[in-house]
Structure formats: structure tokens, C-alpha cells
Structure 1
């Protein structure tokens, strides 16, 4: 049996927050959902067939957070706040 090792430095809170991703150049905007959240980053659910750029701004709950894409698997992506 494989043991799961938690590598996150901070706990994440399960949420369901509507959000928008805006590309660095401001030309692309994408509606997404934040699935979990911590002070260091977020798990983002994307619409089918969409992908996030390497760097973007995440807009949610009257907040603007600069982000770096860390990983992607199917319709989910992990983002680190910068």
C-alpha cells in the first residue's frame, strides 16, 4: 500500500468560489472555480478544454492575486500565489 505524504506547507480549505483568470497581457479572461484555498495558493477547476497560462491574475471575492501555474491534471490546476 502506497503512503501519501503531505507536502503542503499550509493547510487548504475546501471551498467553491467562482473566480476569473486574467492572462498577464490582459487579453484572455476565463471563468473558473476555486476548489480549495490556502494563504499560499489555490486548486482551480477549469472548463473542459481550457488551460491556464504560466502566469496569471486570479480574481475572486474582491481580491486580485498574482499566480504561477504549478501543475495541471485534467480539468484541475494548482496555482501558487506570488
Structure 2
């Protein structure tokens, strides 16, 4: 999976959850208060279903989930593993 493709799909999923706020790829959408812990579970399910990933406990580091760049890194690292 190319980074730009993953980035586009991730941004498309996140967009309705941040109520139309414009986010930079490094913005922490949890710290900004746009999403909550329920969203974290939805995000995990999205990643597993959309990118056909098997996420392990080692992948559950918060840095992987708090920004678009973190999610892209996680997806592309798992896709090449």
C-alpha cells in the first residue's frame, strides 16, 4: 500500500468524526478533543477491515493512533511486514 493511498483512505474515514475541522497530518485529534475513546475502537476496526491488517498488542501504542501520520506509518509498516 502506498503512503498516499493510505493517507487518503484514513483522512476520508476520519473526516466525519472531526466535525469538518481541517487537520494537519501531525495534529493529535484526541488532544484537540475532536474524538473520544469509542472512536479509537472504530478506528482500529477500520484499519483492520480496510487494510486487511492483523493488529497485535504491540501495535496498540497511542502514537500509532493519534494522528494521520501515525496511522499511515502503522498501516504501511504492517503492509510491508
Instruction: Considering fraction of residues, name the structure with more strand.
Output: 1
Instruction: Considering fraction of residues, name the structure with more helix.
Output: 2
Say yes or no: TM over 0.5.
Answer: no
TM-score bracket relative to the smaller structure: under 0.3
Please give the TM-score of this superposition, normalised by the length of structure 2. Answer: 0.28
Which has more radius of gyration?
1
Please give the TM-score of this superposition, normalised by the length of structure 1. Answer: 0.27
